Chain A
Amino acid sequence: MVTVSTIQNNQANYAVSSSSLSAQAKSSIEQSFQTPKKKKHRQDGDNHSLSYYKNDIHKDELVQKNTLAKRIGINIEKTLDIPLIHFPRGLGGAPDYTFFEFLQTAKFPYYIGGPILAALFYAGAKKDNFRSAGAAQKVAKHMALGVGLYYLGAAVAKSIINNTVKISRGVDLKQPYAHYISKSSKKSGAFQKDVEFHTAFESADFTRTDLLYKEEGKTPEEINERYIEYGKKYGIKDDANNIDSTIKPLIKKTIVMARAWQYALTAFFVTLGVGMANQPAWDKASSEGFKKTVKEGIFGKGVNVKDRLHNAKVVVYDYMLKPFGQSFAEFWKGHGKGSSIAGKSVILASAAATLTAITLLLTKTSAKGHKLETTGNNNIKEVQR
């Protein structure tokens, strides 16, 4: 069926059986029946700064130009919200507390649990004589590194998938949107926010595909501009009117597959990270030397620019990249039969899993592997060729 969905229709396109996004659904439903109070802001929406999204929007809007700076800004905002808004609201038992807020608070134990465990280990070590103090410090260093590389591993796993999807399908899984919370729905006054930042593809069930239309477009080509771009990457040549509904199920499939692999790769990469943190390569570079070089060599007083640059290079290369590379080699090699097998298998398994993930994402989400049939009911059935 040839349809060009309007934004209005899509905003109404929410089932309330949602377990995770019903707050959004509710607010967007409310919104959809309200007339905009202000005139449209988005005349050249491509260059809005973050503060625009925080202060000036009155409905959900996609954050245009998903730059690193904007993402950092959003993440700072989101992180600060955890102690300043979500925890107070949660402890108070706000009636409109959302699942999103709960998930945000869940990041707190995730990020402090590891470091506290490492700190507890260090606290238990004998430090009253030089030898044991040295040994304790070494263990603590490896643990701290382990915690750091654990989070790094998780980040790498995510980024591999995100980039694969972005390059191959044009879908930016990290695409943020600003979720406007209507004043009328604010029951609990203080601590409530006007805007929450989410990502458009965070849910496979309730993907914010509605935000992907170009609202001010006049022609289907203009309105469906983004879908047409996706279409090229997915390998679909379809009518401009039709393409959005053709692509939506594929996007859903992409999200599910990408998320599954993100989680799976995380398991491999955190193991790799902790394994590498546990190698002797890191013992050579002392943490004291590192601190000193950073503090006095780069940020110290009376150091000329050339030396600062040199010290920065030392910090990055000698204290980070070199031991990083060496630790990888040592992990591969191992120190005995068991650790050699473990190291090799973790590295090989990580590589194999990454390859599998990329291959599957490239082949299975492409429209080329499917014959698409449109049936009544706006329901696209997938038929294997």
Chain B
Amino acid sequence: MGNLIQSIPVYRPQQQQTPAANTPIPAQNAPLPLQGKPFQAIKNQFPQTQTYSYIPAKPLSDPHTTPKGVRPQPSKAKLVHENIFQAVGSTVKSYGDYAKYFYNAAFKGEGKDYNVGKINDLSIRAGSLGIAAVLATSKMFPFAKGMEFVGLGTWFASMAVWPHILGAPIKAFYGVDINQEYIDSEGRRKFVYEDNLYRPMDMYRYADLNGKPLSPEEYFKKYDKEYVYLDKMGDKLGVPRDIKNRNEAVMNRSAQVAVQGKTLWMLTAGVMTPVVSSIVADALQTPLKNHLEKSRYNKAEAKMQALDKKLDTVLKSGEKNVDRVMSALDIKINPKEQAAFDALFTEDNVLSPAQFEKLQNYIDDKFFGSGFKTALETAMKNGADMTDSKIFVDKELKDTLVKISSDSVRELVAKIPAELKSKFPESLFGYNGITSEQMNEIVASILATEGKSYDEGLRIARENTSIPFGYNAKNALMQSIAKKTLEPFTFDKIYDKDKKAPDYAPVNNFKSALKNKINEKVKAYFETKKCYVVDRNQMQKIFNFAYTNNELQNKLKEFERTSIQNISESMTAINWEKVPKKYLQTMGFNEGEIALLATQDATSASKVLSKKFSEIVNDTEKYKKVVSAMSEYAKTAISKEEKAVIQLLGTSDKKGTLIKVKELMESVAQDSLGYNVKDALARHYKLRMSEIHRKYRNTIDSYVRPIKALDLFKNIDVAVKNILTKDSYGNIQNNAADELYALAGMSEDRQKASLKKYLKDIILQKNDINSWTTKMETELPDSKKGLKHSLESVKRIANQVFAPLSGDTAAAINDAEFVKKCNINNQIMRATFLRIQNKLLAGYTTERNGFYHMIEDLITKEDDRFFKFNMISGAIEEKRLLFGEDYYNHAKNLLNRIFYDYKGVEITKDIQKELDELAQAIDFHYSNKAIAQRSGKNVTDFFINAAQESRARNKWLKLVYGLLGGTLALSALTIAFMGKENHFNKYKYEKINSLEGADK
């Protein structure tokens, strides 16, 4: 405890307990022994105060403990001098202490303000951790989850770090460490400058020049006077050296700086904590994301490979039994699901139609995807027998039959026209059919034919005892109900000569009509009572199969989710976050252009793009640089996805996991569920394969298209020339300008100019043929015939827009493999674009047919042979990546043979076989998809998205760094003014020996 405070003469009750305080005062020398006396005795002792009931209080402590001459115990307080690791250690340790404080305070009510205050620190951290945990569980993906904790960590880190950042320059300039801590006599950690009015100077007595507390012995080995640290601090603070009580003056001046520093801290912490926290968290995002992407994919891949191995073993063994396949693949049915399945059966495995349908639906749900229902129904009915109705004498049966009787009568009576009513017995109107008692009688008489006495039957019926009817009961019931219903009436035959009755026949012969009606209803009722007797084992087999299929699909889907699917945090999604922004950077858009791209519509955006692209192609060096950089980014993005696709679909050498699953499931299905399910499965898996394939194609196209666009911009003149004269293959000799109706009648210059603009537009904008057509129309508004009237136009334009990359571009990319990939993509797009034009390709309605007929046409028809050849080649190329070189060579050979060797020959059986084979090899099932879905993102959208991302980020960076800079500047300014004389602080010092004149 500081001397300063200790020197204040105050009344200090119970701080020091002198022995006298506890010694009872002897009675004989006590004129005022107030202690222990009853109230009345005290009153008597002070007769002058008798009139008051109020008695002056005794001072809180005994008069013997007057503080005169009492010295306080020496302070044990010590400055804290720690390096960073020690500081971290003691922080961690202190949380343990805080927990103890909490226990003592919360459960025992023990503690002081200090302890309770520390509980708050603990609780804030615990609460924040809770919040992060709750928010993390609400997030779907590991990165988002992780970021909650990163955010929490950076928040507390910046909260802890900021006072140290502020403190460093303050300490450097003024020698005052606003974060200086000490441990007080009771072992509690406190800040030296925590309370401005408490200035523990004493602690600096033996602190060395670095502020390290030493023992007096050690200290005096080094220095010859006390308070060297304060001396140094005073010099920095500018406290004159030759004044009286300089240490106190320094302590006071340092307190001023500390108050200023801590107030600045509080003023800025509210801004700096979130700002620094955001900046740090933002910086941590990329490494966290990269790490998670890698580890997630590797984990998923490892799982896939493990599955792959098991599949190999099973496939090799040729195992087709579901149960054994399941155990080989380590698939176990979840007991909950098995229980739910078991609950669908009755004890005797006899199911009502409704129950049977429920069972079907339950199993059907296990295969997701449609198209299984019919196949499954067939498979399940093979394992179930539809039996005759089982009828029990029970209340439901009786009530239903009574209702049938009354309903039938009512319905028929309603049909009798008013003028004919007189011809029917009056009691018929209002008649309600048979009664329950009559029903009981019917039941009794039927039971009588089954060997029971009539009375016993009647009792059974009345008591609703549920016993089964015999085999003939159905017919007997039908007959007797009709009979009983009609019993009370006799009908004459009615002849309605004018045939006024709307439903003449029933009125004509009411009796037989009623009989028919009742029979019809009873039959329908019994129909619903028919049952399925199911083969439990067969059903279990089907269920097991469905379950296995489901499990395998889930495993495949899980892999897809981390890799090729464009969902949060998948490999694809991360690529889409990163790569477009890099393209944007590479192309060197300035801020204004980015703002335009981000905020304007697609047309305006494509103008900005068009300008930029032209700018780049005009500068050869820049062009090379941009193309080479872009291709690098594209390569990484594509290769990641390619790896995942190969894992799923495989290559010609090695089947992918999805293909293996398909084969296994198909063979098992055929064995235990029949062809129907097998075919449904085959369709389903094929669809998934083509989905994956399409996804992959999309990715390549999206990233490659901007490169192709640059290439087209660079070679636009060549492209225009090719369109206007010959196509790139040089086969069509006639004047193209005549074929391109839209351009007809224009001057050559205008044709060129219009086409140039048009080509640039369509490579940058929407990938859809309608867009091409519309653009053509806006570009050439006078023409009555447009693009859609000329297959030749589409062909020529597509051939140029998706021409192979030019030599310049290929040289800039400098990677033959990747150039090949780009060109294949272009070739496929070219073919795709043409194929989608169903209107133009009349007759080729679906693709398979289209290809088959197209292949056939190569033999039989003369026209457009090269065009068709190119399209088929494109289709083969499209599969080449997937199925490898063997497939490619085989298909290409077939095509070449058909194209060159069989031209004009008669189609024999052998040739037919080859045609089939080729058509099968191409085998596209997904022709009716819009082209926008088949191709990747269009160039404009690609850059718009990137611009929006980057603009949001730029704005954010400006804001955050603006706040950071502003606050830092404000802090620096404030720090510069610290420790100076001001409104609150006037420095007046008394010089040492001022009378004698210390200066002399």
Contacts and interface: CB of A to CB of B under 8 A. Distances in A.
Contacts of A90: 259-260, 262-263, 266
B106 interface: yes
B912 to A, nearest CB: 52
Given A241-B39, A259-B105, A267 B127 contact: yes
Given A99-B195, A113-B269, A19 B114 contact: yes
Given A13-B13, A132-B948, A346-B134, A98 B123 contact: no
Contacts of B197: 22-23, 26, 96, 98-99
A98 B955 contact: no
A220 B119 contact: no
B982 A93 contact: yes
B10 A271 contact: no
Contact of B55 (A4, A26, A94): A4
A105 B115 CA distance: 21
B47 interface: no
B273 A109 contact: yes
A376 B22 contact: yes
Interface in B949-978: 949, 951-953, 955-956, 959-960, 974, 978
Contact of B982 (A22, A92, A206, A365): A92
Interface in A82-138: 86-87, 89-99, 102, 105-106, 108-114, 116-117, 120-121, 123-129, 132
A17 B598 CA distance: 64
Given A12-B11, A93-B984, A266-B127, A3 B252 contact: no
Contact of B116 (A2, A112, A256): A256
Given A120-B278, A125-B952, A274-B134, A91 B109 contact: no
Given A204-B113, A274-B131, A219 B54 contact: yes
A375 to B, nearest CB: 9
B326 interface: no
B697 to A, nearest CB: 25
A95 B984 contact: yes
B451 interface: no
B851 interface: no
Interface stretch (A65-73, A172-180, A282-290, A336-344): A336-344
A140 B53 CA distance: 67
A111 B159 CA distance: 14
A134 B278 CA distance: 22
A305 to B, nearest CB: 42
Interface stretch (B57-65, B330-338, B372-380): B57-65
B263 A87 contact: yes
A239 B39 contact: yes
A1 B14 contact: no
Interface in B254-285: 255-260, 262-264, 266-267, 269-271, 273-275, 277-278, 282
B252 A95 contact: yes
B13 A120 contact: no
Contact of B985 (A95, A241, A342, A379): A95
Given A105-B267, A260-B102, A377 B948 contact: no
A270 B79 CA distance: 36
B119 A339 contact: no
Contacts of B119: 259-260, 263-264
Interface string B91-123: 000000000011001111111111110011011
Nearest to B951: A128
Nearest to B15: A15
Contacts of B949: 126
Given A108-B266, A220-B54, A274-B131, A256 B110 contact: yes
A264 B983 contact: no
Contacts of B106: 257, 260-261, 264, 357, 360
Given A90-B260, A263-B119, A120 B54 contact: no
B972 to A, nearest CB: 14
A83 B278 CA distance: 26
B57 A219 contact: no
B138 A266 contact: no
B60 A9 contact: yes
B105 A256 contact: yes
B8 interface: yes
Interface string B705-734: 000000000000000000000000000000
A268 interface: yes
A9 B59 contact: yes
B267 A87 contact: yes
A272 to B, nearest CB: 9
Contacts of B932: none
Interface centre among B21, B42, B983 (most CB of A within 10 A): B983
A22 B195 CA distance: 9
A1 B36 contact: yes
B5 interface: yes
Given A91-B264, A260-B105, A223 B54 contact: yes
A374 to B, nearest CB: 10
Contacts of B947: 128
B66 interface: no
Nearest to A104: B266
Contact of B256 (A93, A267, A360): A93
Contacts of B956: 120, 123-124
Given A116-B271, A129-B948, A254-B109, A92 B983 contact: yes
A246 to B, nearest CB: 15
A310 interface: no
Nearest to A105: B266
Nearest to A125: B952
Given A3-B58, A105-B263, A20 B195 contact: yes
Contacts of B982: 92-93
Nearest to B135: A278
A19 B269 contact: no
B370 to A, nearest CB: 26
Nearest to A120: B278
A307 interface: no
B90 interface: no
Nearest to B121: A263
B719 to A, nearest CB: 32
A1 B35 contact: yes
Contacts of B978: 93
A81 to B, nearest CB: 14
B130 to A, nearest CB: 4
B270 A113 contact: yes
Contacts of B960: 120, 123
Contacts of B270: 108-113, 116
A120 to B, nearest CB: 5
A304 interface: no
B923 to A, nearest CB: 37
A110 B269 CA distance: 9
A16 interface: yes
Interface in B677-695: none
Contacts of B959: 120, 123
Contacts of A126: 948-949, 951-952
Given A188-B983, A259-B119, 7 more contacts: A2-B39, A5-B60, A19-B195, A97-B259, A128-B952, A338-B137, A376-B21
Q: Across the A-B interface, give the 10 residue pairs with the lowest CB-CB distance, nearest first.
A: A90-B263, A93-B256, A267-B127, A109-B270, A260-B105, A253-B109, A271-B130, A117-B274, A112-B270, A109-B269
27 contacts: A2-B39, A4-B54, A4-B57, A5-B60, A19-B195, A19-B198, A22-B195, A95-B255, A95-B256, A102-B195, A113-B269, A116-B271, A123-B956, A126-B951, A128-B952, A204-B116, A219-B53, A256-B109, A256-B110, A256-B115, A260-B111, A270-B127, A271-B127, A275-B135, A278-B138, A336-B140, A377-B14
Interface of B: 1, 5, 8, 10-15, 17, 21-22, 24, 35-37, 39, 42, 53-61, 101-102, 105-116, 119-120, 122-124, 126-127, 130-131, 133-135, 137-138, 140, 155, 190, 194-198, 252, 255-260, 262-264, 266-267, 269-271, 273-275, 277-278, 282, 598-599, 947-949, 951-953, 955-956, 959-960, 974, 978-979, 982-985
